[in-house]
Structure 1
Amino acid sequence: MPIDPPPPGDRASLAQEKARLRGEALARRAGMGDAARAAASAAAAQRVPAILGPVSGAAVALFAPFRDEIDTAPLAALLWEAGATVALPVIVGRDTPLLFRRWRPGDLLEPVGAYRIPTPSPEAPECRPDTLIVPLAAFDRRGHRIGYGAGHYDRTLAHLRARGPVRAFGYAFACQEVSSVPAEPHDEPVDGMVTEADHLLFGG
C-alpha cells in the first residue's frame, strides 16, 4: 500500500527521528568491538542460504563493508562456492541509481570516492543483480531500513523493481534493530533481513 506523503512540517520531524535512530544504532554497532563483529559476520553469513535458497547461476549483489559495517567477505565465499555470480555496487552520481560490476575471487578492489570504499575495476563487467544484499544503519521488523542519508539504495531498488522482479535483503548486526523506522513515500522496503541472530521475511 502506498504511503501518503507527510505534511512539510512532519518531514523535518521524520528526518530528525531517523537521524536519532541512525546515531543510536551506529553507536551500538561501534561498541561491539572488532572480535565480536568478526564472529557475528561469520555467523550471519551462515544464515543467508536459508533465506536466499539456491543461488547457482543467480547474480547476487553484496556491498564492501565501510568502517565497522558487517563484513561481507564470509558471505561472498559462500556464494562463490554455491555457484552465484557476485557483484558490488559502483556509485555513478549523487542522484543516479547504483551500477553493479562483477566481483570474482582474487579480483583487486580499488578505493574510490571520498570514503575510499572498495570498488571493482572499471574493466569488470556490469551485472544486473537478481538479489541485493543491502547495507543499512538501522532496521525494524516491518521491512523498513534507515540508510546513511544519500538515498542510493532507495533509488536503486525503485529503478530495478520498475524493470522486473528483484529481491532485496537487509544485512546487518542484530544490535542495529530498532522498534520502528518512520517510513516515507520514497523509502524502499526490503523483502527480508539477516543478522547473526535471526533471519526474517517480510510481506508474506
Structure 2
Amino acid sequence: MNPSIARNPLAQAKKTWRLQLREARLAASSDGIANAALTANLDALIAHLASDLAPRSIGFYWPLPGEFDARGWIAAWLAADASRRAALPVVAERHAPLQFYCWTPGAAMREGHHGIPEPAAQDAQDAALPDLLLVPCVGFDREGYRLGYGGGYYDRTLAAWPAAQPPLTVGIAYEACRIDDGVLEPEAHDLPLDAVVTEAGAHLAGRLRSR
C-alpha cells in the first residue's frame, strides 16, 4: 500500500466514523435476534451462489468485541461436507498481506499480532488460498465499500492475491453500521466487496450485483 494513504485528507473523517460505528456495532452485536437473522442470511447467500461461485474453502476471522462470531456457522458449514475447508488469517508481519492457514473446530490456537488468536499449525501443508473471504466491517455502504480498522490488511491482501484466483469477498456487518450513500468516499486503493450480509439481508455489490 502506498504510504501516502496514511496522509490522506479523508483519514480524520474515517477515524471519526470508526469511533461512532464501533460503539453502534458493539450494541448491535449483543442482540441475539439480530445475530440469528445474520446467520440465516449468511447461510442463504452461500447456499444460493451459482455453482461456479460456490466456495469449497472459506477464509473468515477470529471475532473481536462487537464483531459477529462466525465460528458456529463455519463449523456447521464444514460439517455438511467433508471436502470443505476453512481458514483463519495470520499476520506474519505488520503492514504485510495476511496469510491464511487451515482451521477446524477444536484446532490448536496461539496468540498472534495484535493479540488475536491464530492457528498454531502454520507449516506449508496448512496454508490455504480461500475461494471466499468473510470480512469484518466497522462500516459499509450499499455500493459494497467497507470501512475497516485502518490497518489496511485486507487492502494489501487482496492487492497481492493471485490474479487468476480472486476470492469472493463478503462483508459481515450490522445495519446500525450502514453509512449513507456518498458519505464513504472510496479511495484509489479501495475495492468494493461482492456482498455485505447483515441481519436485514444480503446487500449485493461488486461481482455479485450483476448475477
- Is TM more than 0.5 here? yes
Cα deviation per residue 1:35-90 (whole Å; 9 max; x = unaligned)? x1x44333212212322236887110010101221111222123213323111000
Distance in 1 between residues matched to 2:29 and 2:128, nearest whole Å = 34
SS of residue in 2 equivalent to 1:133: strand
- Counterpart pick for 2:38 among 40, 44, 60: 44
Name 1:99's counterpart in structure 2: 99
Name 1:3's counterpart in structure 2: none
Distance in 2 between residues matched to 1:122 and 1:105, nearest whole Å = 13
For the aligned residue pairs, the C-alpha RMSD in angstroms reads 2.4
Distance in 2 between residues matched to 1:151 and 1:166, nearest whole Å = 17
Cα deviation per residue 1:15-53 (whole Å; 9 max; x = unaligned)? 12211222111111123363x1x4433321221232223
TM-score, scaled relative to structure 1: 0.84
Distance in 2 between residues matched to 1:193 and 1:64, nearest whole Å = 18
SS of residue in 1 equivalent to 2:18: helix
Distance in 1 between residues matched to 2:91 and 2:57, nearest whole Å = 19
Q: Counterparts in 2 of 1:152-171, with a 5 A limit?
A: 152-160=153-161, 162-171=163-172
Cα deviation per residue 1:73-119 (whole Å; 9 max; x = unaligned)? 222123213323111000112221100000012213222223x2121
- Counterpart pick for 1:185 among 183, 188, 192: 188
Q: Structure 2: 5+ residue runs without aligned partners?
A: none
Tell me, yes or no, if the aligned pair for 2:87 and 2:103 is still in contact at 8 Å. Answer: yes
Q: Counterparts in 2 of 1:1-204, with a 5 A limit?
A: 11-12=8-9, 14-32=10-28, 34=30, 36=31, 38-52=32-46, 53=49, 58-83=56-81, 84-114=84-114, 116-123=115-122, 125-160=126-161, 162-179=163-180, 180-203=183-206, 204=210
Identity %: 33
Amino acid at match of 2:70: T
**Measured at CA, do residues 109 and 167 of structure 1 come closer, stay the same or move farther in structure 2, by a change above 3 Å?**
same
Cα deviation per residue 1:140-159 (whole Å; 9 max; x = unaligned)? 00010011011000111122
Amino acid at match of 1:16: Q
Distance in 2 between residues matched to 1:31 and 1:139, nearest whole Å = 17
**Measured at CA, do residues 157 and 141 of structure 1 come closer, stay the same or move farther in structure 2, by a change above 3 Å?**
same
SS of residue in 2 equivalent to 1:31: helix
TM-score, scaled relative to structure 2: 0.82
**Measured at CA, do residues 25 and 131 of structure 1 come closer, stay the same or move farther in structure 2, by a change above 3 Å?**
same
Q: Structure 1: 5+ residue runs without aligned partners?
A: 1-6
**Measured at CA, do residues 161 and 134 of structure 1 come closer, stay the same or move farther in structure 2, by a change above 3 Å?**
farther
